[in-house]
């Protein structure tokens, strides 16, 4: 398994491009299942999770073409789902990537019958899909969960008024996709407002869907008979953007991130400014200049537009070396503090009490060998390694490769002493 060797203590300075958003691309690829015509996506990030999704779609019978563009411009992917001769999602593929559940809604709507493996939990929590099932059932699907698989059947889904018990991003996306081909109007209340939901709705409307309200907590979908092909550019990755802003802020550096913007990152930018950073948003870029030492910032994760749970681990890393004490509250997932014990190995002073972490900034961290456990926890260890004195070895970095395109190249371009070893 690959490892990442980081020699910390260097202020990161320079300019790098941001890739397309993983959490927009994954549902977008599944949207292609809703039509017999080819759909083309540009600016698709070259990530392991994308590769897994394309493998899953291909084994269903989708014709997949993927051309790599020049580095930083992402891949161009064309999907042709005209012949779906095996509309199932097997455990072997789903267990490696929970987002595979996003084929459920499209397959029930397009094919009328499907078998999708339950994703199972992951490091950060149980992550059930009961709301996905509840919504499809309300739309008339017969859904049974047997032997670890979701069996869903519907001659044609019927529009319905849906209410999710909690805000769920992929739940909203699955139900929105299914509703596109339903008979009548569907209203999703308590819908997720994440920008990736809006990006998906934009693509679906370009394919002939009739969706309004995406980005608010009430989404209306007028079902249509069929969708047609389209071309869609994946939006920039706001979490990748936030991650690099944190890495540069922690090291006291200065950066310009291109192919992105400050839009969709207000909560994160507010916290970075409270921590002492100067941030300037441009039309297609964002610039940050860090102070010599950050001030600790407390935060509480919540659904968009509040502070994103996917940025919590990165902020725990910057609080570990900031001036003062921060209170970090995680309200979305039940077990998303695993990075804390690894940060403590690097010398951080963190106390966990349930879903609250008390982080007292220390003058410096000491390099050590640490282990990545999930995607964003791995990112927080990279940030800590960049500021720690001496060498930090991060094991199991396949977690990073799932969600960060060319992470070591991008960090090296900012002057980081980072090396990937087999």
Q: Would you please indicate which residues are annotated as catalytic (active-site) residues?
A: 122
H or E stretch at 257? strand 254-258
- 402 C-beta neighbours (distance < 10 Å), count: 19
Rounded to 5 degrees, what are φ and ψ at 12? -80, 130
Residue 234 binds ligand EPZ, judged by CB under 6 A: no
Q: How many positions of this chain bind ligand EPZ (CB under 6 A)? A: 22
Residue 23 binds ligand EPZ, judged by CB under 6 A: yes
With CB under 6 A as the contact rule, which of the stretches 107-115, 126-134, 199-207, 360-368 interacts with ligand EPZ?
A: 126-134
With CB under 6 A as the contact rule, which of the stretches 125-133, 229-237, 247-255, 263-271 interacts with ligand EPZ?
A: 125-133
CB of 280 to ligand EPZ, least distance (A): 27
Rounded to 5 degrees, what are φ and ψ at 199? -60, -40
Pairing of strands 325-329, 299-300: parallel
Q: Which is nearer to ligand EPZ, 177 or 294 (CB)?
A: 177
Residue 408 binds ligand EPZ, judged by CB under 6 A: no
Residue 4 is encoded by which pair of tokens? 């990442």
Q: Which is nearer to ligand EPZ, 190 or 325 (CB)?
A: 190
Kindly write out the interface string for residues 145-174 of this chain, putting x where it contacts ligand EPZ by CB under 6 A and - elsewhere. ---------------------x-xxxx---
Residue 26 binds ligand EPZ, judged by CB under 6 A: yes
What sign does the dihedral 53-57-60-66 (CA atoms) show? negative
Residue 307 binds ligand EPZ, judged by CB under 6 A: no
Q: Which is nearer to ligand EPZ, 368 or 382 (CB)?
A: 382
Q: List Cα–Cα distances, 300 to 167, 313, 322, 377, 381, in angstroms.
A: 16, 12, 17, 17, 20
Residue identified by tokens 């993927």 is 66
What sign does the dihedral 151-153-159-161 (CA atoms) show? negative
Helix (H, G, I), strand (E, B) or coil at 272: helix
Among 35, 241, 261, 309, binds ligand EPZ (CB under 6 A): 309
Kindly write out the interface string for residues 175-214 of this chain, putting x where it contacts ligand EPZ by CB under 6 A and - elsewhere. ----------------------------------------
Rounded to 5 degrees, what are φ and ψ at 175? -70, -35
Residue 238 binds ligand EPZ, judged by CB under 6 A: no
Residue 319 binds ligand EPZ, judged by CB under 6 A: no
**Contacts of residue 354, Cβ cutoff 8 Å, sequence gap at least 6:** none
Residue 348 binds ligand EPZ, judged by CB under 6 A: no
Distance CA 370, CA 374 (A): 13
- 421 C-beta neighbours (distance < 10 Å), count: 9
Residue 240 binds ligand EPZ, judged by CB under 6 A: no
First vs last C-alpha separation in the chain: 6
Residue 333 binds ligand EPZ, judged by CB under 6 A: yes
Residues that bind ligand EPZ (CB under 6 A): 23, 26, 99, 125, 127-132, 166, 168-171, 309-310, 332-333, 375-376, 403
């Amino acid at each position: 398994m690959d490892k990442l060797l980081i020699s910390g203590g260097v202020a990161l300075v320079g300019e790098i491009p941001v890739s397309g958003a993983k959490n927009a691309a994954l549902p977008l690829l599944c949207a292609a299942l809703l039509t017999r015509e080819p759909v083309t996506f540009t600016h698709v990030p070259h990530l392991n999770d994308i590769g897994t999704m394309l493998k899953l779609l291909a084994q269903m019978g989708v014709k997949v073409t993927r051309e790599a563009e020049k580095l930083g411009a992402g891949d161009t992917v064309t999907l042709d789902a005209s012949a779906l001769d095996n509309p199932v999602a097997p455990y072997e593929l789903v267990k490696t990537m929970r987002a595979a559940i996003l084929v459920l809604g499209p397959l029930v709507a397009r094919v009328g019958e499907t078998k999708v493996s339950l994703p199972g939990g992951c490091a950060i929590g149980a992550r059930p899909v009961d709301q996905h099932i509840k919504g499809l059932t309300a739309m008339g699907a017969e859904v049974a969960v047997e032997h670890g698989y979701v069996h869903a059947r519907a001659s044609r889904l019927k529009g319905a008024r849906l209410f999710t018990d909690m805000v769920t991003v992929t739940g909203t996306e699955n139900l929105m996709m299914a509703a596109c081909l339903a008979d009548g109007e569907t209203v999703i209340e308590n819908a997720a407002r994440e920008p990736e939901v809006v990006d998906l709705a934009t693509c679906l409307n370009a394919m002939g869907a009739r969706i309004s309200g995406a980005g608010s907590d009430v989404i209306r979908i007028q079902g249509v008979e069929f969708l047609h092909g389209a071309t869609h550019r994946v939006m920039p990755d706001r979490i990748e953007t936030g991650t690099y802003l944190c890495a540069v802020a922690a090291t006291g550096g200065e950066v310009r991130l291109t192919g992105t913007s400050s839009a969709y990152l207000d909560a994160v930018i507010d916290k970075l400014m409270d921590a002492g950073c100067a941030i300037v948003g441009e039309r297609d870029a964002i610039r940050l200049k860090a102070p010599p030492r950050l001030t600790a910032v407390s935060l509480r994760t919540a659904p968009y537009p509040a502070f994103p749970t996917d940025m919590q681990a990165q902020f725990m890393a910057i609080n570990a070396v900031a001036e003062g004490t921060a209170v970090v509250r995680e309200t979305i997932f039940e077990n998303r503090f695993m990075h804390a014990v690894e940060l403590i190995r690097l010398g951080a002073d963190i106390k966990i009490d349930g879903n609250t972490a008390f982080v007292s900034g220390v003058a410096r961290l000491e390099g050590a060998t640490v282990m990545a456990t999930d995607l964003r926890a791995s990112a927080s260890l990279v940030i800590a390694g960049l500021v720690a004195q001496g060498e930090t070895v991060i094991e199991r970095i396949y977690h990073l490769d799932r969600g960060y395109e060319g992470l070591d190249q991008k960090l090296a371009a900012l002057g980081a002493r980072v090396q990937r070893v087999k």
